[in-house]
């Protein structure tokens, strides 16, 4: 599994790529009669795509932090479960 900094780097590259592709698509629709509707749809799709990338990023980042210090994570959750059972 990648380190947290590698996860961040991959996410940043994916977002930059999505924005570059969005810009390219905006240029490709110039001159079409429904340009405003097309621009709006492309913007919505770009934002939705980046939102999906964000969700995957958060998941991968949390997993990478857990893998980086799994002993601490296990101790923390074991303590929480023990407290819940005793309560």
pLDDT lower than 50: segments of the chain:
none
pLDDT at position 49 is: 98
pLDDT at position 39 is: 96
pLDDT at position 73 is: 78
Query: Beta-carbon neighbour count of residue 83 at 10 Å?
Result: 9
pTM over 0.85: no
pLDDT at position 68 is: 87
Report the distance separating Cα 29 and Cα 59, nearest Å.
Answer: 35
pLDDT at position 79 is: 83
């Amino acid at each position: 599994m990648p380190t947290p900094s590698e996860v961040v780097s991959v996410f940043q590259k994916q977002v930059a790529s999505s924005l570059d592709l969005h810009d390219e698509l905006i240029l490709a629709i110039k001159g079409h009669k429904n340009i405003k509707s097309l621009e709006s749809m492309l913007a919505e799709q770009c934002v939705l795509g980046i939102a999906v990338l964000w969700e995957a990023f958060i998941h991968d980042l949390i997993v990478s932090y857990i893998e980086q210090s799994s002993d601490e994570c296990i101790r923390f959750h074991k303590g929480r479960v023990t407290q819940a059972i005793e309560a």
